[in-house]
Amino acid sequence: MKQYDYLVVGAGLFGSYFAYRAKKNGKKVLVIEKRSHVGGNLFCESIEDINVHKYGAHIFHTSNKEVWNFVNSIVEFNRYTNSPVASYGGALYNLPFNMNTFYALWGTKTPEEARMKIEEQRKASGIVTPKNLEEQAISLVGKDIYEILIKGYTEKQWGRDATDLPAFIIKRLPVRFTFDNNYFNDKYQGIPIGGYNKLINGLLEGIDVRCNIDYFSNRQSLSLLADKIVYTGKIDEFYDYCYGKLDYRSLRFEHEILNIPNFQGNAVVNYTDKTVPYTRIIEHKHFEFGQQPNTVITKEFSLEANSNTEPYYPVNDEKNNTLYKKYKQIAEMEQKVIFGGRLAEYKYYDMHQIIEIASKLEI
Ligand code: FAD
Ligand code: UDP
């Protein structure tokens, strides 16, 4: 008999939540993590008494009451509502695309005026069935918004022309004909009071966890420890890149402590102009309505992932999706390995989707 029922590779949200469920079901679980800490990209570090989202801003949002109740049973969430602002050419615009944005750009005061403006621009573009991100964006919000608020940001973020990117990426953002700057349409949203580490530590309570262990540095002996493996790392790496490498986008974060209480008056400001090298600046204290005397900001720079940088975003274009399908085919034949999460399923999952998917797995 093996020492553990499950070896979970990766202590991100997927791995931590799976381990939590397995323990509840009476299973013995070992979680290994190659970073020096648990939490994956949700990890926060306390700097100046502010929970700094070390791997990018994370706002939990869901319309699924069970998911919301579950995460709140581990840690209570606050009522933070994400309302990013976009900066372009020295002017500020509200996001997501709504009546405030339309008014600032065009002076349109009614939903009908705004709709007419968009329709006029959509017609002029001649797009009938959008085939890529650019066409999808122009169909949804017209050419002006595409040029000012989408094209530059998107091409920086993905390192590809907007015409080479899938349409679904832009459909993540609401388009609203009301004066409502809430970035999400979901029923529930917020930030764990005291930071995301409370969520992850709550999930991993009482579970064997070993950090600083890369599964691939000792694959054979680690695999012998458990009956089954739950793998949340990159799927192409699991198969030693046998069909070739999948593309991922990486990020570089520049964190700064400023001796002022409030730098930008908002947690998230996007820089949509291509000439600004970063995509957004995060001011972390605003996620928890912080009143600390100083502030911490993070500039986010996007780059292509390579063997020395962390993979954050799967690039779900046609070429990569086709390659992923080949890996998925062999993954489906595995009897003793469960693949889950953003990297192992090569999908642009948000946190609530991770919980939804992992909650359905048979343990
Ligand atoms: P990860 O967090 O990537 O966890 C995988 C873990 O496995 C990592 O800790 C990694 O180090 C470890 N690992 C990998 N390979 C190995 C190995 N060989 N051996 C040992 N360990 C290994 N979602 C939202 O809902 N709202 C948001 O606002 C939001 N903002 C985001 C902003 C950014 C910048 C990013 C990158 C993501 C954001 N997300 C957001 C998505 C969210 O981060 C993911 O849904 C979630 O973290 C996925 O969890 P995961 O466990 O699949 O992946
Ligand atoms: N996007 C944009 N302008 C913005 C914000 C987002 O064009 O000001 C586009 C961009 O292509 C981005 C996508 O919308 O990748 C999804 O945005 P989201 O904020 O969901 O990105 P994430 O937080 O996942 O990085």
Over residues 2-42, the pLDDT tens digits come to 999 999 999 999 999 999 999 999 999 999 999 999 999 99
pLDDT in tens, 283-294: 999 999 999 999
| Chain length of the chain | 363
- Per-residue model confidence (pLDDT) at position 170: 96
- Confirm or reject: Cβ of 274 under 6 Å from ligand 2: no
Distance, CA of 67 to chain centre: 17
- The pTM for the full model equals 0.97
- Residue that the structure tokens 């109740």 belong to: 69
Q: Whose CA is nearest to atom 31 of ligand 1?
A: 58
User: How many Å lie between the centroid of ligand 2 and the Cα of residue 19?
Assistant: 31
Residue from 222, 280, 307, 351 whose mutation best tests the ligand 1 pocket (most atoms within 8 A of CB): 351
Residue from 41, 172, 186, 270 whose mutation best tests the ligand 2 pocket (most atoms within 8 A of CB): 172
Q: How many percent of the chain have pLDDT more than 90?
A: 100
Q: Which tokens belong to 239?
A: 């198969």
Q: Write down the catalytic residue from 76, 112, 115, 172.
A: 172
- Per-residue model confidence (pLDDT) at position 215: 98
Q: How far apart are CA 39 and CA 9, in angstroms?
A: 12
172 an active-site residue? yes
For CA atoms 7, 11, 14, 18, the dihedral sign is positive
To the nearest whole number, what is the mean pLDDT of the chain?
97
- Confirm or reject: Cβ of 355 under 6 Å from ligand 2: no
21 an active-site residue? no
pLDDT value at 199 more than 90: yes
Atom of ligand 2 nearest to the CA of 350: 24
Backbone angles phi, psi at 169, to 5 degrees: -60, -40
Q: How far apart are CA 146 and CA 348, in angstroms?
A: 22
Span 266-292, mean pLDDT? Answer: 98
Q: Is 49 helix (H, G, I), strand (E, B) or coil?
A: coil
Report the 3 state secondary structure along 63-117.
CCHHHHHHHHHHCCECCCCCCCEEEECCEEEECCECHHHHHHHHCCCCHHHHHHH
> If pLDDT is split at 50, 70 and 90, which confidence band does 1 have?
confident
Q: Write down the catalytic residue from 5, 247, 300, 345.
A: 300
- Residue that the structure tokens 């700097």 belong to: 47
Q: Comparing C-alpha atoms, which of 127, 173, 215 is closest to residue 348?
A: 173
Q: Whose CA is nearest to atom 15 of ligand 1?
A: 233
Q: Write down the catalytic residue from 248, 249, 283, 327.
A: 249
- Per-residue model confidence (pLDDT) at position 219: 97
Span 67-84, mean pLDDT? Answer: 98
Residue 304 is classified by DSSP as: E
Alpha-helical regions (H) of the chain: 13-24, 65-74, 99-106, 111-125, 133-145, 151-158, 196-203, 219-223, 235-238, 318-332, 351-360
The four Cα atoms 7, 201, 50, 60 give a dihedral, to 10 degrees, of 80
Q: How many percent of the chain have pLDDT more than 70?
A: 100
The four Cα atoms 161, 164, 169, 175 give a dihedral, to 10 degrees, of 70
Residue 263 is classified by DSSP as: S
pLDDT in tens, 35-52: 999 999 999 999 999 999
User: How many Å lie between the centroid of ligand 2 and the Cα of residue 154?
Assistant: 7
pLDDT value at 230 more than 90: yes
- Confirm or reject: Cβ of 34 under 6 Å from ligand 1: yes
Give, to the nearest 10 degrees, the angle between helix 196-203 and helix 13-24.
40
Domains recognised in the chain with CATH numbers: 4-80+187-248+316-359 (3.40.50.720), 96-169 (no CATH), 250-304 (no CATH)
User: How many Å lie between the centroid of ligand 2 and the Cα of residue 278?
Assistant: 13
Find the radius of gyration of the CA atoms of the chain: 22
Helix, strand counts (H, E) of the chain? 11, 16
User: How many Å lie between the centroid of ligand 2 and the Cα of residue 227?
Assistant: 40
Q: How far apart are CA 70 and CA 62, in angstroms?
A: 12
Question: Is the distance from CB of 361 to CB of 327 less than 8 angstroms?
Answer: no
Q: How far apart are CA 353 and CA 359, in angstroms?
A: 10
For CA atoms 185, 70, 204, 349, the dihedral sign is negative
Q: How far apart are CA 215 and CA 35, in angstroms?
A: 11
